[in-house]
Amino acid sequence: MFERFADYMYYLLTAPFKRVRKEINQWYLLFKVLGKRLDEAKEALQRARDETMVATCSPLMLQEHGRDRGLSRYEGEELESYRKRIALHSQVCSLGGTNEGIILAVKSLGYDNVAVIPAREYYG
């Protein structure tokens, strides 16, 4: 409905405060000044929120998320594959060396047809 904070706050004023033209209305001038600052703060907070999530962060911040988890980007690895590997890191670590964990780790690298073959079956 309202794109700017100043317009919204002016809308909330009661009718007696709106009788004066906007150009000389002190309330409107105050909302215009404060609204600009608050709109900038809102955009900064939304940008910070996007950067804290692995799914929506920028490539530069994705490196930081990877560094926090001890992961580096492989040579030639696509950005979305790296993003997926970072997102699945905690699940892969929690499953450890189990069959499910091995399958999940290999799938996070981009391979779809994965099967675990026990060594006793492989060597006969």
Per-residue pLDDT reduced to its tens digit, 69-113: 999 999 998 999 999 999 989 888 888 888 888 888 888 888 888
Per-residue pLDDT reduced to its tens digit, 42-78: 999 999 999 999 999 999 999 999 999 999 999 998 9
Which pLDDT belongs to residue 69? Answer: 92
pTM check: above 0.85: no
Q: How far apart are CA 17 and CA 20, in angstroms?
A: 7
Ordered by start, the domain boundaries in the chain are 5-52, 88-124
What b-and-e string marks burial along 19-37, b requiring 16 or more CB atoms within 10 Å of the CB?
Answer: eeeeeebeebeebbeebee
Q: Which residue has the tokens 């997926």?
A: 84
